[in-house]
Each structure stands twice: as C-alpha cells, then as structure tokens.
A and B are shown apart, each in its own frame.
Chain A
C-alpha cells in the first residue's frame, strides 16, 4: 500500500529503510516532490546513486517503479503509446462484411487497441507509481518537448481518443549526466537536485549499511582509499556502488587489511580502465605501502 511522507525526517527515515542514506537536500527534495507533485531533475556525476534514488523511493513509498530508459532516437511510439494494428486488422477482418465502416472505426481506435508504453502506463495506473525517466540528456530536444505535457499536466493527448488524464499522481524523477544542456522549459517544470559524491563520513555510513560485516577500521580505510582515488584524474572515477561492491568482495576474500597487495588484486572492482589501473597503482599503492593511509583517522 502506498505510503505518503509527512515530513522531511519521515522521508529520510523511509529512504534509510529502503537502503538509501539520503543527504539533507536529497531528503528535502524527495519530500517536496511528493508534496508539491513536481517532477525532480536529478543531476550529478555517474555513479552517485541517481537511479538508485528512484528505486529507493519506490521501495520506501510502496509504489511500483515504471522506468523509461532514454536513448538517442527514442520516440513517442516507444515512450507513450502505439496502436496495436495487428489486433485492429483482425477486428476489421472479423467484421469485414456486415459492419459499416463508421462503427468499426469507432471500435478500433479504443483503449482496447492501445499499447501503453511507460509514460502512458505510469499516468494511467490505478495505484500511484514512481516514474523514472533515466538519462534524459540522451534523447533529442523534440522528445523533451513531448515530455512537457506529461510532466506539467500529467496528461497525454491521443488524437483519436482525446486526452488521457492521470488517475493518480506519479512521483517523477528525471536523471541526467549533463552530456547535453536541457531546455529551459523542461527545467522550469522540475525541482532540481544535484547529487555529488558523498563526503568520507557519509560514504562510510553507506558502506557500513550495505556491508555491515566489514569491520569499522577496514571500512574507514576503504573509504579513504576510494576518496583518494576519486581525487586522481581518472577516466572513470569509482562510483558508490563500486565501493560497496569492493567492500563485499573484501569480505568474501576474508581480507584482514587493505594493503598494496590487496589493492592490486582487487582494484579491478573499482577501476575500469587500463590506464586508470596504472595510475592508481602508482599513486595510491605507494601510499598504502608506506602506511600513510589509515594512520590519520578522521575525527
């Protein structure tokens, strides 16, 4: 049964319950989104948990998650609706001889012959849903324009049927990696949330939440290494999900300590480019050998 939040604190607690440690602004914007019924535009570097936020919200609110993955060339037929013409054809064939065209026409452009795609199914759902429009920056501007109607009025115009209005109000999240500047019109309709890599303290909490068996010292050291790695000029800095994966891998391997050797053998979990691997071995591996990491505890 869908749950509604009544305060920021409640939102944060709900998200924690769903396995997502939200920062101040994240909790506040999620709360506002639900309260004001406005879509949220989430931006930030890759791997900071933009998509995860939508999933956590769907878990926390008990709403179903409807996901629309965007890509170049995505069009209405794939995002909104399409006519099921095969079924229409069958219908015409069955009635071919004796029915007048007028009745058939009224018949075949009914909801029965409509194939709802994510956007339409999100707004016509009986239960409120969480609608995730992922990587909106990958689509063309035309598609963005088409979204405007859905996002501001929560309705879809189908020429043959008229306007389909939302039965329930979906919670909409749009994510963007900022590979393209989005139009002002779209931004204006959204609340804006910037997600950044978490600070060491919060990342520590996140890692501890997802890998509770990892010892405090290990987790702290791991976070310190990951933060250090992020400060290097890498082609792909490690995401939060990757530091969690790393923590779990270390647990599986039964590692006692993160030293240069452990780092070398497990580095491929957080680093995904060959040149990055070299760089990290050079810069971070050396520090681990000298025992510079972990000696100075934060706080």
Chain B
C-alpha cells in the first residue's frame, strides 16, 4: 500500500504549493524514480551519506525485487542505501514517514476520500469486547499488520470523535490508550501483570493509532503538515542500562586499537626496518647460502601504557558512574594500565579493578572502602598532581598516555598548573575528558583553561557518543611524532 507505484495516468495534481509542506511543487513529478530521489534527499537531510552509486544500486535492486511487496521494497532499499546499523534504523523511520506522506499527498491531489467509517455506520461499539480484541491481538506475537490497523481505526471511531480530537495527535493517542486500559509490561517485574501487553506490540499499536489520526487530519484539512526532522530520541537505538555498559566496552575496545596502532602510523612507516640476521641466514640456506630474500624484524606495535585519573568527588557524581564504567572497560582491554581515583588526595586503584571483575564490585569497593578515597571531601587538583607525579615519576615516559577524567573544579584551591605541565611533558600524550558542557568551563571555580594548554586534546564527555568522538579524535591527532623525546 505504501509504495508510491509507477506512473499512473490521472489528472494532474491541483497546483497547490502549500500542500507539500515546504517541498517545492516542481518535485511532484509522477513515477517511481522521482519519488525515490526525493526519498534519498530526505535521507540526506537526516545526515545519511547517500551517493549516486548507492542510488544506482537501489534502482538495480528494485529491478530484481518485487517492489509491490512493502517488506521487500524496504529491505531492498536498506540493503543498498544504508551502510550501518544506525543508518538502517534511520531509514526505516524515514521510510514509514515518507511513503505515508507520499500516499496521502497523492490522495489529496486526486481528491480520493475514504468513506467515513464509524460515524453512524456502527451504532455502538461494545467497549469491553473491543478492549479484549485489541489485547488479544497485541499478545499474539505475529499478529498481522492489517488487523492491528483495523483495530486502531475501530478504537479511534469508538473514542476519539473522529476529526475533532484535542488537535494534538500525541495527546489523543495517549487518551485512547488510557481509555482502553492498555498497559505495557514492566521490565523486570517478578510476576507479569495479567492486564499488561508486550511493550513493543503496544508501541506498534500506538503507531497505527497515530497514523490513522494523522490520516483523518490530512483528509479533513486537505493539506500535509510540514515534515519535521526526526528527534534524537527517535533515532537513537533502543538501549537499556546493561547495554550502556556494553556500549562503553565496545568503544573502549576501539580505543585500544587506535592507541595500539597509532604509534606505528605516526612514525612515518620507517622505510628501513631492521634486518633479522638470524632468520635471513637460515633462509639463505635454501638458496645455497646467498641471502636472496631478506627477513626483517617485525615491527611490533608499541604497547600503550595508560595512566587514567578519575575524579570521584561529589561535584561529578552523575558523571562518575559513567567514568567508572569507562575505567572498568579500560581495565578489561589494557594490561598496562594504572588507574587512580582522586578527590582531595589521589590513590591508586589498579589492584581493585584487578581483584573485582564485576562493575558492581568495583563501584562498591571504591565508594565504600574509606582507604581508597574520601569521597566526601573537596577536590584539590593541585595536590593531586603533586602526589601523582611523586607516585609515578619513574614510570612516566614518552610512550605513556595520561587520561584525566574530571571537571577541573578546584574549589578555589591552588591549581598548580605548572605541576600538571610537568606531568604532560613527561608523558607522551595527555588527554582530558570533562563531564561538563564546554559552555560551563572556566566559570566559577573551573580552571580548565589553565590545564587545557598542556593537553593534546580536551573533550566534553558524558555519553558514549562523546566517548566515541574522543576515540575518533585521538586517531586524528598526531602530536607524538613531532614531540621531541
């Protein structure tokens, strides 16, 4: 039903530019190809990289696939246009919206109207029966799409006086859901509520109700509402708390690869690796003692040495769980990692992470164990640098990277930026991840600027997305090679 279909003879659309919700009227040429190009345009507007080679592929794919089937049509498009998991999800969202609008536009242009159902036709719909039917359909894991849609229309005609709801579709949808007494299953509930229905099915049903309401609105007003960009909330992949931790782990695994390979890349691929004399001689035996082929010593990627300093004071409480999970993930990936937590003073927690494998165990040990850090104190960055330098002074060398996770709020104490400079000088690379938005830096007691100039990179960081940004950014930075030893 949603494929816009090939060019059909029909009277030309009424010229009404307002109809297209901002789309130029010239685009309304009939047929599949222009529609697909419009669709690709919309994908680009949402930030997907759709090139012409992808489009050509899509057309080729549609020649091989029966595009009269909605599912195959969409799958063919996602296989050729979307190049990552995120892109796929985006494409599905936009696909639904775009072709719904395309069909409605066509309907308005041709003046097609549906027979208005539910107004007088069915005199009285039995509420209880309808409720049971909908609940039954939602519990059925493979209920058909069409059935749900029909039920959605029934529900609308039973409750929303069609065409004169509150005017805000989202409000109407929720009102209908509440009147029907539909509840989503609570995640992790010990005993499933007999009244509740699976969450994702409920969401599907809500989607149908929403779409039917929109359709009614479009029919009544004979115009399309303007297309709005997708909200971040919609486009984000569905995640749970457990998956967040997994996401951090995934990003950190990426970080490990970056750090491990970077040293090799930045040294400019030295053209003259060392000859492995022993192996070359052995090989030359095959050729009568003439060393025809040289064997080189493998260039080992250097093993990154990481020093991570993590602020766990109350000013970063919300961020510190995230930071600790980053630290936890780092410990899983790196062997040469020393981690420190600090508030007023600094203490090394490397062995805590090595002892406790689970994240819960680690947070408990760090929060509870008074010997580790006094969490109730005020952060004293100056003192932390002094102590840090004292503890690691012999180990810090140009091969090591220092990562600081903190908000740089010194509570008015001496920042000792010159000590931090010494740390940064001795370490190969220094990065700072700040859990506050850049806007708040250097306001109040934040002394980010004092430290910033000694770092190879400073980043806002409180979501996995930004953590990924950090990983990408350090792959692009190449300060190490130019830094004098």
Contact = CB atoms under 8 A, between A and B. Distances in A.
Given A32-B61, A36-B61, A231-B242, A299 B292 contact: no
B64 A31 contact: yes
A188 B83 contact: yes
Contacts of B88: 192, 194
Interface residues of B, number: 46
A238 B246 CA distance: 15
B75 A28 contact: yes
Given A179-B257, A188-B54, A32 B64 contact: yes
Interface string B223-255: 000000000000000001111011000100110
B142 to A, nearest CB: 7
A43 interface: yes
B83 A24 contact: no
Contacts of A35: 64
Nearest to B140: A299
A188 B80 CA distance: 9
B49 A184 contact: yes
Contacts of A101: none
B388 to A, nearest CB: 30
Contacts of A284: none
Nearest to A199: B141
Nearest to A35: B64
B135 to A, nearest CB: 14
A89 B253 CA distance: 46
B64 A36 contact: yes
B72 A28 contact: yes
Given A184-B49, A275-B357, A275-B358, A38 B287 contact: no
A200 B141 CA distance: 10
Nearest to B60: A36
B79 interface: yes
A25 interface: yes
A213 interface: no
Interface string A126-147: 0000000000000010000000
Contact of A233 (B57, B76, B246): B246
B82 interface: yes
A71 interface: no
A38 B61 CA distance: 10
Interface string B50-84: 01011001001100111000011001101110111
A25 B242 contact: no
Q: How large is the interface on A (under 10, 10 to 19, 20 to 34, 35 or more residues)?
A: 35 or more
A187 interface: yes
Contacts of A99: none
B286 A86 contact: yes
A179 B243 CA distance: 16
A238 to B, nearest CB: 14
Contacts of A200: 141
Contact of B78 (A25, A38, A184): A25
A217 interface: no
Contact of A85 (B57, B85, B293): B293
A260 interface: no
A192 B242 contact: no
B141 A298 contact: yes
Interface string A167-187: 000000000001110001001
B65 A89 contact: no
Contacts of A89: 287, 292
B192 interface: yes
Nearest to B191: A292
Contact of B57 (A38, A140, A193): A38
Contacts of B72: 8, 24, 28
A89 B144 CA distance: 70
Interface in B343-365: 357-358
Given A36-B64, A184-B49, A191 B292 contact: no
Interface in B78-130: 78-80, 82-85, 87-88
Contacts of A298: 141
Contact of B80 (A8, A191, A274, A299): A191
A32 B65 contact: yes
A25 B65 contact: no
B79 to A, nearest CB: 5
A36 B242 contact: no
Contacts of B49: 184
Nearest to A6: B64
A201 interface: yes
A194 B75 contact: no
B292 A192 contact: no
A187 B54 CA distance: 10
Interface in A185-232: 187-188, 190-194, 200-201, 231-232
Contacts of A279: 358
Interface in A224-274: 231-233, 235, 274
Interface in B15-72: 49, 51, 53-54, 57, 60-61, 64-66, 71-72
A179 B65 contact: no
A190 to B, nearest CB: 8
A201 B75 contact: no
Contacts of A192: 78-80, 82-84, 87-88
Contacts of A233: 241-243, 245-246
A296 interface: yes
A102 B253 CA distance: 53
Among A8, A41, A274, which residue has the most Cβ atoms of chain B within 10 A?
A: A8
A191 B286 contact: no
Contact of B254 (A29, A179, A188, A299): A179
Query: Among B72, B241, B245, B332, which residue has the most Cβ atoms of chain A within 10 A?
Result: B72
Contacts of B61: 32, 36, 191
B414 to A, nearest CB: 42
A43 B84 CA distance: 8
A279 B83 CA distance: 35
A24 B78 CA distance: 12
13 contacts: A24-B75, A28-B72, A32-B61, A36-B60, A43-B84, A85-B292, A85-B293, A86-B287, A179-B254, A192-B83, A193-B79, A233-B241, A292-B190
Interface of B: 49, 51, 53-54, 57, 60-61, 64-66, 71-72, 75-76, 78-80, 82-85, 87-88, 140-142, 190, 192, 240-243, 245-246, 250, 253-254, 257, 261, 286-287, 292-293, 332, 357-358
The 10 closest A-B pairs by CB, nearest first: A233-B242, A187-B83, A35-B64, A275-B357, A28-B75, A191-B79, A29-B79, A25-B75, A192-B83, A194-B85
